[in-house]
Amino acid sequence: MSFSCIQVRDNKKLRVNAVIAPKISYADKAPSRSLNELKQYGFFSYLRELFDAPDPVMSYLCCQYHIHEVPVGTERTRERIERVIQETRLKQIYTAEEKYVLKTSFYSNKVISSNTSLKVAQFLTVTVDLEQRRHLEEQLKEINRKLEAVESGLVTLRDTNKHLELKDNELRLKKKELLERKTKKRQLEQKISSKLGSIRLMEQDTCNLEEEERKVNTKIKEINVQKAKLVTELTGLVKICTSLHIQKVDLILQNTTVISEKNKLEADYMASSSQLRVIEVIYFF
């Protein structure tokens, strides 16, 4: 930049004014006083809002000349300029035709004002329709208010949505519990139906059991009759066995007697034989 300016100055004999924009941007710095406080004096805007410039240029103008603190008034402002000067204590004021510079005396602390007429624009003309600009600003404010209302509504809707989501989760849990209870109910109904079927079968089996019991009792009676017959036959056989046993005992006793007599006879025979042999021996010798 410096090299270019030097070339323009040396070659074309032109003077180029250049400034360095502040490192910190002042382009969007808010004024110290709200414009609403000054509207009662006829001020409708600050000087910064009446033209557009690149951010570095606007930042330089705000930092160096405080254009964001310079209000611009109307004919109403010019008509009551004394009151405006005394009550507002502004350092610089613009109206449609004049520029007012206000200073406070170091010695008397009084406000000293000086005004100069504004030159007719020759190179830079105002291309902004102030009425249209105010109208657009009002529209922008209205849009901002509506936007704030919409954002507030969105916040409300988000809260409502969050509440509804919580409610939905609760209802989902309740639905899940109801489905589980419904499943348990269906299972219980199936068990009850199965039990009722079993009871019906048992009732049918009970009827069959009575018939079977009757048949079994009949068979038991038949068996008891047969058993009685067998007992009678067994009693007769026992008596026969007893009689035979007695006969057997008698035969055993008789056999024992016969054996005893036989043994006695055999002993007598042996003794007689022995005596006979002795006699024979004596006789022959």
Reported as a single tens digit per residue, the pLDDT across 43-82 is: 999 989 888 888 889 999 999 989 999 999 988 888 888 8
Q: Which two tokens stand for residue 51?
A: 């033209």
Question: How far apart are alpha carbons 101 and 77 in whole angstroms?
Answer: 14
Q: Where are the domains of the chain?
A: 2-128, 131-228
- Quick one: pLDDT at residue 180? 92
| End-to-end Cα separation, the chain, in angstroms | 196
Which ranges of the chain have pLDDT less than 70? 1-10, 12-14, 16-17, 120-130, 205-209, 284-285
- Quick one: pLDDT at residue 118? 82
Question: How far apart are alpha carbons 152 and 147 in whole angstroms?
Answer: 8
- Quick one: pLDDT at residue 50? 87
- Quick one: pLDDT at residue 24? 86
- Quick one: pLDDT at residue 279? 84
**C-alpha dihedral, 136 to 142 to 146 to 148, nearest 10°:** 100
Reported as a single tens digit per residue, the pLDDT across 233-274 is: 888 888 998 888 898 888 899 889 989 888 998 888 898 888
- Quick one: pLDDT at residue 2? 52
Closest by CA position to 32, among listed 66, 82, 60: 66
Question: How far apart are alpha carbons 131 and 133 in whole angstroms?
Answer: 5
Q: Which two tokens stand for residue 36?
A: 């609403």
- CA dist list (Å): 147 to 144, 151, 152, 153, 198: 5, 6, 8, 9, 73
- CA dist list (Å): 216 to 69, 202, 209: 123, 19, 10
DSSP reduced 3-state for 112:
strand
- Quick one: pLDDT at residue 121? 61
- Quick one: pLDDT at residue 188? 92
> Using alpha carbons only, how large is the chain's radius of gyration in Å?
72
> What are the residue ranges of helices labelled H in the chain?
2-12, 35-38, 55-65, 75-79, 81-88, 130-284
* Residues near 55 by beta carbon (within 8 Å), at least 6 away in sequence: 25, 27
* Residues near 85 by beta carbon (within 8 Å), at least 6 away in sequence: 93, 100, 102, 111, 113
Residue type, 201: L
Question: How far apart are alpha carbons 183 and 189 in whole angstroms?
Answer: 10
